[in-house]
Amino acid sequence: MKVVIVGGVAGGATAAARLRRLDEQAEIIIFERTGFVSYANCGLPYFIGGVIEEESALTLQSPKGFWDRFCIEVKTNHEVTAIHPDAHTVEVHNLETGKQFVETYDKLILSPGAHPIRPELPGIDSKKLFSLRTVEDTLRIHGYVQEHKPTSAIVVGGGYIGIETAENLRELGLEVTLLQRPKQLMNNLDFDMATLIHAKMRDSGISLHLGANVTGFEEVGGRIVAHIENEASITADLALLAIGVMPESHLAKAAGLELGIKGSIVVNERMETSAPDVYAVGDAVQVKHQVTNENAVISLAGPANKQGRVVADVIAGMNSSYKGSLGSSVIKVFDLTVANTGLSEKAAVAAGFNYDCVVLSPGSHAGYYPGATPMTMKVVFEKESLRLLGAQIVGGDGVDKRIDVLATAIQAGIRADRLKDLDLAYAPPYSSAKDPVNMAGFMIENLNNGVVKQWHWNEEPELPRDGSVQLLDVRTVGEYQRGHIEGFRNIPVDELRSRLNELDTNKPLYVICQSGVRSYIACRILTQHGFNSFNFSGGYRFYSAVTEERLGSNNIMPCGMER
């Protein structure tokens, strides 16, 4: 059996190695149009910043290594230019010699990845405007920085690559301006959670321009200028365009394969395309989202590697299938860790769920053990079924392990309130006896059982200040004096029982504290004394971070609002 693989990065390289382990007799050939194979896309920004010092560390395997260990023939700088499914052949162009030839196959695996979006804008071909997708891209940027010693940079795009490259350039000492057309970074997050990233980026010296629509580029005096709609132009020594990627599916389209959303390649659970003996994996394919069961394109290394393993199993005659993606991801933003899985709140709205969410600010580990830092967690769930829909976490230590627990819980079908029952490891340096994931479960159980009711930051502007409701801040006097919401009176929680006579049982009470814990305690006191009380979800620290932005907030629905 002869297996030809188009693309030798995550999915293609994994499929090749797995297939060899399953079938010692198969002839396996990888065609990779770049000069590198099995390289770590996710590490590319960190080579630019010097965190990864050796170029060789970016490649997990070499063509020689593939042959020596796996007897797999890897042909780099070879671009497949056409696929002929009926004839079981591909046309190949040797980019080094110019030679063109035809290769036959019994099975064909497409792992072409995705290409950076480069809109037709004036100046888009400037030599000072870079993209970052391949090792060659990284080497070009790294070489430019080493040779020209730039002092400033513009990054267009606030997704993973844009943020990571902006951070690494900033760590090199450059003045960095990040331009983002949407009014938040990382569109896979909700606006309220993204504001925590905005604050960190600004505190780290990056100039953010949110809601900035770049209309073109221009080289002036040896520098590059980014022109922005209705704003002043920005000039720097180099620029990076990182506004997203699109599936690399032109070969599949030309060959008549069925395409799906965003031009992605349609595959089934076995990663089979619409053409016999042709499979596809990675960033170019359409998959099912595990929560919505809707079609999705999820460009992440984890799914690509899993799909590569599945397709190798299938070709080797095993019963294997890909179960879909949650889109679980994590990113470093200076000393913050930002992670998400499943659906955000806005994605739950778009999918038509009747949902609610909880926001909490637990410590990374036991507060009495030195070094604990706060994290902000947002957990989204379906109201009636308590089905866990998604989660987002921003913080320091321990964010990654909590998002992994929540991703596992979603995939396993664990109900949101049953998060409280998970038996998670505890020692003071690593967690608390009631882990943050357990705490989310406790909160959801309390909401479901009617032990507490809540309100959210989006609702604050609509709260009447005419005396028809009562607005209560239960932090200490000092905390209140350092900042509070207009119209909220201060009664510290420890004084509440003795001052209940100052409150009216006939009027609803909206209660807030710094993190949501003391206001919850206050609501339990108030409820048991006949008050109709509502606890603020997230606390004043979260509220102040979100409302300082006030960008696009009028278009963001309160958590739990139905459509």
DSSP conformation class of 557: P
User: What are the structure tokens assigned to 442, written together?
Assistant: 């406790």
What does the alpha-carbon distance between residue 95 and residue 309 come to, in Å, rounded to a whole number?
29
- For the chain, the residue count is 563
For 506, counting Cβ atoms within 10 Å of its Cβ (0-12 exposed, 13-18 middle, 19+ buried), the class is exposed
What is d(CA 26, CA 397) in angstroms, rounded to the nearest whole number? 45
- Helices marked H in 122-249: 135-148, 160-171, 191-203
CA atoms within 13 A of residue 52's CA, in its CB half-sphere:
19
Helices (H), 356-435: 399-412
For the chain, the distance separating the N- and C-terminal CA atoms, rounded to the nearest angstrom, is 53
Contact 472, 521 (CB under 8 A): no
**Which residues are catalytic, by number?**
42
Give the C-alpha separation, 453 to 244, whole Å: 40
Query: Would you list the DSSP string of 219-272?
Result: EETTEEEEEETTS--EEESEEEE-S-EEE--HHHHHTT--B-GGGPEE--TT-B
The closest alpha carbon to 214, from 239, 249, 247, 190, belongs to: 239
Euclidean distance between CA atoms 283 and 112, whole angstroms? 8
**Within a 10 A sphere around the Cβ of 482, how many other Cβ atoms?**
10
Cα–Cα nearest to 83, from 108, 58, 57, 60:
108
Residues 514/516/520/522 CA torsion (nearest 10 deg) = 10
Integer Rg of the chain from CA: 26
Question: CA-CA distances (angstroms) from residue 458 to 192, 497, 560?
Answer: 10, 29, 11
CA distances, 522 to each of 361, 387, 434, 525, 529 (Å): 17, 28, 20, 5, 11
8 A C-beta contact, residue 525 and residue 171 = no
> What residue has token string 């305690």?
521
Contacts of 120 (CB under 8 A, 6+ apart): none
Q: What is the dihedral of CA 151, 155, 159, 163, to 10 degrees?
A: 10
